[in-house]
Structure 1
Amino acid sequence: MTIKVLVVDDSSFFRRRVSEIVNQDPELEVIATASNGAEAVKMAAELNPQVITMDIEMPVMDGITAVREIMAKCPTPILMFSSLTHDGARATLDALDAGALDFLPKRFEDIATNKDDAILLLQQRVKALGRRRIFRPVARAVVAPTPASRPTTSGLRTSNIAAPVPVAPPVRTSPTASIRASGKQYKLLLIGTSTGGPVALQKILTQFPANYPHPILLIQHMPAAFTPAFASRLNGLCNIEVKEAVNGDVLKPGCAYLAPGGMQMMIERAGATGRLKILAGSADMNYKPCVDITFASASKAFGGDILAVVLTGMGADGREGARMLKSAGATIWAQDEASCVVYGMPQAVASAGIATQSIALDNMAESILKESARG
């Protein structure tokens, strides 16, 4: 059975181009197109598409407003198209807050250097959203009051397509309650994610207190134009400090360092703490930033004194880095299937027998806080 898609854009050329690409895949079918947000809201209710692709700037009703109305009336997985600009990044983050699940650059040359790769990636993203067995809107993080002002401060290769993984005994799951703390002592928290990650990270990090005891490294698959805006948004919502990582940053407790888009974030031990190295990385890497690379470098710098969490995302990035971390004695958790936008990255870690816990997004922050508490 094909996945039914509604394409929304005020450009007739772009509607036609996206429709052609979607219809090239035998598993996908464009059932209608709309030229503005108001039409999209009406068609979503009438036609019940399984996925909607949505532009942001449109006449009559913009994409963000349309997303908000669709999610209120007939929740549907929505993929946004956005420009790779600062304003485009902010608008896309607003759309994700409104309920959209994923985004891609509107210019195909910004999706991938190779045209065929760009087409394949768009088809993969649409299918990943459309294959969700039961769509439940991801819980939106409560927007907390802005905290008081505070001072601001090549190896592994991955693939866009998840490789087959061996079936391991199921990991323990905690769908309704957080886990009991193990009592282990940590020096670092790592979180890797992709599709659905911005909302998931916001939900988790807004629950952390300002005195969270460890540095936090965030690896989110995101374009270079987006990471400054995303770090700024998180910093305004969270009690902890959140910043886009820069080369030479010395890690400090209660601060989250977001890997810059288009770069690789590595860590080296510097006395009792660590220092970040931000590198361009190999040109043939599929992910920039790459979860595997950061996880692998952290395993060498901190060994087993790490809690690493793999959240929602397409593909298998993070699996091999998590394997290295586990071999060094680190603790690995994965987000559970029911709360993921795309159960790809967490599934790769869980199915390989690397993750010891599979935890629902609603319980992840509480679980991390309990596990991270100093004895």
Structure 2
Amino acid sequence: MRSQTDKLPRRPSIGDAPPRVLIVDDSAVARAVIARAVEAEGRFIVAGAVSNAIVALEFLKHTRVDGIVLDLEMPGISGLAALPDLIAAGHGAKVLIVSSAASEGAAATVEALALGAADTLVKPEVGGFSGRFSVAISEKLTRLLAIEAGPDTAVQAGARATAGVGTGFDIVAIGASTGGIHALSVLLREMPSGFPLPVLITQHLPESFMPYFAAQVAVLANRPCDVATDCMRIRPGRVIVAPGNAHIRVVSTGDGAAIRLNSDPAKSGCMPSVDPMFESLAEVYGPRALGVVLSGMGRDGSDGARSVIARGGAIVVQDRESSVVWGMPGAIANAGGASAVLPPVEIGRLIAARRRPT
């Protein structure tokens, strides 16, 4: 293990040393179990293991890490309170919340994700650690810290160049997964409270999280937000989020549009899935539809994005630099399906101005 006074190493890339992880947990037992899990297969290096947020912040002044495993419940400054400072001090390090607090309700989990945590995992009580828990940590870190090939610069630059002013749109539909809640919170803060268009959101979250997620979106967007129910009308200025147990599809009602819920398996394997939302949006709104894809693993949304583009609509995806995982947005951008590739703050401003990329 390097000394804290060592020069900050550069970020690992293909062929370099494994990504480095800092563990922040007040339990010595938890730190030991997590450290063994992190280094078990040689994929990662434990750069340090500390007992509280203050020590962690001091550690990060001198040592560059790629990932932080963070407990939420600690003496003094809680992990949740320290999260923004740890993200800033980590200079892009991805934070995995590992805490028993994540099992006590969706509030702490969704709030942590909105503040910028990349993912969460429930930590068992002392004495309840198992091989399954160790495997789960390893798998999540592998997904979050796996070295990805760099973005196609030509594709990304070309998409940015096309982000001019178009003819506008009548509805916004947003899809997101891992890392998407924080990106969504940044985007929504750029939209004025009087924004008149309806906004649909499909975020990969369990059903039990949705009421709190909707409440938080309502605060961030400063407008009403509902968890979708079957036959719910799509109304101006309101936000609708997909429930965790069904996809949302848009249907025409003659004098407007409404939501129909569907629980058929999606090609992506996600529930809810972005694809049915986008596909149905294209059918009803055609060239007046704007789809947005934020950070997330996998390819969910890429098929639906093609439908939106084919009907004359526009698709904007989050850029790689600001994404926790550039899977969902990257799949669309690299296939040439993105009208623009932008960070969340710029996507929010584009929506607020009712512009569309051309």
TM-score category (smaller protein): 0.7 to 0.9
Q: Which amino acid aligns with 2:77?
A: M
Does 2:222 align with 1:248? no
1:124 maps onto 2:124 in alignment: no
Judge conservation of contact 2:203–2:272 (CA < 8 Å) in 1.
yes
Structure 1 residues not aligned, in runs of 5+? 109-113, 134-164
Instruction: Answer yes or no: is 1:51 the counterpart of 2:67.
Output: yes
Match of residue 180 from structure 1: 164
Change (3 A) 1:282 1:212: same
Do the aligned partners of 1:168 and 1:353 also contact (CA within 8 Å) in 2?
Answer: no
Alignment of 1:1-375 (within 5 A): 1-75=17-91, 76-82=93-99, 88-96=105-113, 98=115, 100-106=116-122, 118=136, 121-128=139-146, 169-170=155-156, 172-174=158-160, 179-184=163-168, 186-282=169-265, 286-371=269-354
Cα offset for 1:355?
1.0
Q: Distance in 1 between matches of 2:244 and 2:186?
A: 21
Is this contact kept in 1: 2:217–2:225, CA < 8 A?
yes
Over residues 122-178 of structure 1, what are the superposed CA-to-partner deviations in whole Å (9 max), with x where a residue is unaligned? 1333315x7799xxxxxxxxxxxxxxxxxxxxxxxxxxxxxxx99985563449xx9
State the Cα distance separating 1:78 from its structure 2 match: 1.5
Distance 1:25 1:220, change over 3 A: farther
CA RMSD of aligned residues (A): 3.4
Deviates more, 1:264-273 or 1:34-43: 34-43
Write the letter of the residue equivalent to 2:158: R
Using a 3 Å threshold, how does the CA distance of structure 1 residues 237 and 71 change in structure 2: closer, same or farther?
Answer: same
Over residues 196-248 of structure 1, what are the superposed CA-to-partner deviations in whole Å (9 max), with x where a residue is unaligned? 22222122223323443322111112232322212212212323322222222
Q: Partners of 2:286 and 2:266 in 1: how far apart?
A: 28
For residues 156 and 190 of structure 2, the distance between their equivalents in structure 1, rounded to whole angstroms, comes to 28
Alpha-carbon deviation of 1:88? Answer: 4.2
In 2, the alpha carbon distance for the partners of 1:324 and 1:117 equals 38
Residues 172 and 289 in structure 2, CA contact (< 8 A), matched pair in contact too: yes
Give deviations 1:61-99, integer Å, cap 9, x for gaps: 32123324434545443221355868643223443455x
Structure 1 contact 268–277 (Cα < 8 Å) conserved: yes
Contact 1:266 1:277 (8 Å CA) reproduced: yes
Matched AA of 2:70: M
Q: In structure 2, do the counterparts of structure 1 residues 236 and 117 end up closer, same or farther at CA, with 3 Å as the change threshold?
A: same
Whole-Å Cα distance in 1 between the matches of residues 242 and 324 of structure 2? 21
TM-score (norm 1): 0.76
Contact 2:225-2:240 at 8 Å conserved across structures: yes
C-alpha deviations, 1:263-302, integer Å up to 9, x for none?
3222222223222123444399642221123222323333
Paired residue secondary structure (2:321) = helix
Q: Relative to structure 1, is the Cα distance of residues 166 and 277 closer, same or farther in structure 2, using a 3 angstrom cutoff? A: farther
Q: Is the 8 A contact 1:231 1:242 kept in 2?
A: yes
Q: What whole-Å deviation, never above 9, does each CA across 1:23-76 have from its counterpart, x for those lacking one?
A: 244432223323333343343334432210111112343212332443454544
Give the residue type in structure 2 aligned to 1:172: G
In structure 2, how many angstroms separate the alpha carbons of the residues matched to 1:25 and 1:262?
Answer: 35
SS at match of 2:69: strand
CA distance in 2, matches of 1:132, 1:255: 38
8 Å Cα contact 2:317-2:333 kept in structure 1: yes
Q: Identical aligned pairs, as a percentage?
A: 30
Structure 2 CA distance for partners of 1:116 and 1:65, relative to 1, 3 Å: closer
Separation (CA, whole Å) in 2 of partners of 1:24 and 1:212: 50
What is the distance in 1 between the residues matched to 2:139 and 2:253? 39
Range that drifts further, 186-195 or 251-260: 186-195
1:303, CA displacement in angstroms? 3.4
1: CA distance between counterparts of 2:216 and 2:32? 34
CA contact (8 A) 2:300 2:328 kept: yes
Q: Which amino acid aligns with 2:144?
A: V
**8 A contact 2:19–2:67 mirrored in 1:** yes
Classify the secondary structure of the residue corresponding to 1:226: helix
Q: Distance in 2 between matches of 1:313 and 1:265?
A: 18
Please state how far the C-alpha of 1:326 moved relative to its aligned partner: 1.6
The answer to whether the 8 A contact 2:178-2:324 is kept is yes
Q: Which moved more, 1:270-279 or 1:66-75?
A: 66-75
